[in-house]
Amino acid sequence: MSGTTTAGVRLRKAADDANRWVVLVVLCLSLLVVALDATVLHVAVPAVTEDLRPSGTALLWIVDAYPLVCASLLILFGTLGDRIGRRRVLLLGYALFGVASALAATADTAAVLIAARALLGVGGAMIMPATLSILRQVFPDRRERALAIGVWTAVAAVGAATGPVVGGFLVEHYWWGSVFLINIPLMAVILPLGRWLLPESRGGGDGPWDVLGALTAAAGVLCVVLGVKRLGGGAGLLDPVSLGPLTLGLALLIFFVRRQRRRRHPLIDIAMFARPAFSTAVGCIVLAMLALVGLQLIAVQYLQLV
């Protein structure tokens, strides 16, 4: 009897181990799509310019609306998932990502494409933090979790790096909207798989949800980038249309930092930036990403047009 029980326990453990790695595959596929869309449009920029005839500023927003909105809303949707369920937020993100991809692929004006890219950013912000949170829950063992997080990080890097390659292939053989259509079948597969395989989880729920803080951070980042884009687009240093959003954004970010320092349960522990190892690592990552993405966008246009 005891031997039968032991065999049953082993079978369940083996099944759980197998399910964990299947869940990791689903989560990595989700992240791959999110990372791919950050750079897949780079090669398609000349084709988009020829077809939609956007202004220089509008073209910048077409390229940057997705990563900007996604980055700005990560805190908001990450903490929302802790409250209402990460799996629920992730599945909603899948659905929104698929709808926004269809809208972007069929856009006939620059404004529609910018709006679709912004919606893609919202979907990406719902997907990315949920994948990492669920991954941490599915892998309780520290060694397995470290391996899983390493795979997760590598997939993000591979997605961003292969974006221009995939985009170039699709634009060469089809049309620029096809770079968005590839998301739809992937979402059609991942959505039912995620609903079936992924476990639901929530955070500790310590303290009230700081919605104001999350929205302040998002608005601050958006305003700062809007001001910088205006200045980079040729506006003067004293241009009120540029200085207004830039000043407002900096004020909102300062307010966010001060608010987080005062709260008992902050969205971000600002004190962590006082640690040299942490702040140096974050700074290096920011500089590396700025150089990588900026150089990639410029190099792709130069190689195609010059």
Does residue 87 surpass a pLDDT of 80? yes
The arithmetic mean of pLDDT across residues 232-254, rounded, is: 75
180 touches 47 (CB < 8 A)? no
Structural contact between residues 221 and 277, judged by C-beta atoms closer than 8 angstroms: no
Q: How confident is the model at residue 193 (pLDDT cuts 50, 70, 90)?
A: confident
Q: Is 250 left (phi over 0), alpha (psi -120 to 50) or beta?
A: alpha
Q: How confident is the model over 133-137, as a mean pLDDT?
A: 84
pLDDT range class, residue 49, cuts 50, 70, 90: confident
Task: For residues 130-136, give the mean pLDDT.
Answer: 85
Q: Alpha-carbon distance 168 to 166, whole Å?
A: 5
Architecture in CATH for domain 1-203: Up-down Bundle (1.20)
DSSP label of 154: H
pLDDT bucket at 205, cuts 50 / 70 / 90: low
pLDDT value at residue 11: 34
Helix 211-232, helix 56-84: angle, nearest 10: 170
pTM: 0.81
Closest CA to 266 of 206, 306, 201, 180: 206
Residue 171: C-alpha distances to residues 117, 134, 259 (Å): 18, 35, 46
Q: What is the pLDDT of residue 103?
A: 92
pLDDT of residue 96: 92
Residue 236, pLDDT > 60, answer: no
Structural domain spans, the chain: 1-203
Q: Answer whether residue 6 shows pLDDT above 50.
A: no
Per-residue pLDDT at 28: 86
Query: In the chain, pLDDT over 90 holds for what percent of residues?
Result: 9
The answer, yes or no, to whether residue 120 has pLDDT greater than 80, is: yes
DSSP 161-183: HHHHHHHHHHHHHS-TTHHHHTH
Percent of the chain with pLDDT over 70: 89
Cα separation, 16 vs 126, in Å, equals 26
pLDDT of 8 over the 70 cut: no
pLDDT for res 113: 92
In the structure encoding, which two tokens stand for residue 213, read together? 């803080």
164 vs 216, higher pLDDT: 216
Residues 66-85 have pLDDT tens digits of 888 888 888 888 888 888 88
Asked whether 75 and 11 are in contact (CB, 8 A), the reply is no
pLDDT at 229 over 80: no
Task: Give dist(CA 124, CA 46) in Å, integer.
Answer: 25
